[in-house]
Structure 1
């Protein structure tokens, strides 16, 4: 942290990203998290059982490749030579949308951050087929940290001209090639915020399950 951003316009978006990531990590690792009013709330560390918990039937999750995709999924996304993959299907996706587990949501976030970092300030060549899907909580948390760190590093080299450049990020699984980069930075923050809130709710439901 602490490295000045190239564009002052980026500073509030980067501050928001840092806050969202730090709060999400604390919510998953403990021992305490900010409850929202500045006070600390105790929280247990994410376990493998909770990471893979399916609260309703026919969830989409991460699965061993040997077991194949789950209900209504047609493939397991991620590195084909990896042990694990994430339930997926080509567009149009199943309707109504499948309920996704904490593992699915965290894997989705980490992959998105990692790939967008590469398509902003890296090789511009990595795809979902290069991403290693995590089958346990500790590895998944490390993958999220790596993705968030890579994305943040990519942002630090961004100046005002890049923020206004359409297609500055070439990430192939979104609208990135058609939008100015500042909109993509905002969208990534929104992804961390809303999936982070979903993960927090799943943690509450798991803690209070019958």
Structure 2
């Protein structure tokens, strides 16, 4: 097949959709609130009830905030499932949906973070739906357009941004799956045993 005949938009969407449908989404089913908030190490960054964090920055508009610092600590803080989902939902998806696809403005500071696992997964599904619809509506021609001043590299193409976002999603959501495995194998009550 000639590269000019390839449906680049479909190909880029499938990069994410195949991974999501066949590897990731099923691994998130049944995520419990205990897993969502579980901290495998002391002082891990998390999503917490407002006023309960000791992180340098507690960002968020609702009853829960996400731990943060500017500049970030060295070494980087370990982050929980709740934190990683918050990062993906807001920093990876919602902010880009707002910048490029007409979704409401979103930032770490203004987001209403989920206070439980089910609500976080609902937010994730919603933002993914907006993202994929936006990418689909770009068509092949829209993938060639520059991302513009709302991104750190304004001259990069929308195709570059799509590839970057998909790498971020695969990377961080795979980390979430690994943390679920760690929780299952280190928490006696997680695998049916009693403490």
| TM-score, structure 1 normalization | 0.79
- Partner Cα separation in structure 2 for residue 120 and residue 165 of structure 1: 11
Contact 1:176 1:184 in 2 (8 A): no
- Would the alpha carbon gap of residues 125 and 138 (structure 1) be closer, same or farther in structure 2, given more than 3 Å must change? closer
- Partner Cα separation in structure 2 for residue 110 and residue 125 of structure 1: 13
- Equivalence for 2:35: 50
1:78 aligns with 2:60: yes
> Can you list the C-alpha shifts for 1:151-202, whole angstroms capped at 9, x where unaligned?
011111103342222225835xxx2534211111000110111111111110
- Equivalence for 2:158: 181
* Residue correspondence of structure 1 range 120-135 to structure 2 within 5 A: 120-122=100-102, 125-135=105-115
> Can you list the C-alpha shifts for 1:78-132, whole angstroms capped at 9, x where unaligned?
22xx000111112x31100000001110111111212211211105744333321
- Equivalence for 2:17: 18
Unaligned runs of 5+ in 1: 1-6, 30-44
Higher helix proportion: 2
Secondary structure in structure 1 of the residue aligned to 2:43:
coil
Contact 1:53 1:102 in 2 (8 A): yes
Aligned residue among 106, 109, 114 for 2:88: 109
* Residue correspondence of structure 1 range 29-44 to structure 2 within 5 A: 29=29
Secondary structure in structure 2 of the residue aligned to 1:67:
coil
- Partner Cα separation in structure 2 for residue 209 and residue 145 of structure 1: 28
1:201 aligns with 2:186: no
Contact 1:51 1:137 in 2 (8 A): yes
Contact 1:20 1:192 in 2 (8 A): no
- Equivalence for 2:3: none
- Would the alpha carbon gap of residues 125 and 203 (structure 1) be closer, same or farther in structure 2, given more than 3 Å must change? closer
Q: CA RMSD in A?
A: 2.0
1:66 aligns with 2:65: no
1:98 aligns with 2:77: yes
- Partner Cα separation in structure 2 for residue 59 and residue 116 of structure 1: 26
Number of equivalenced pairs: 180
Aligned residue among 132, 148, 171 for 1:152: 132
| TM-score, structure 2 normalization | 0.84
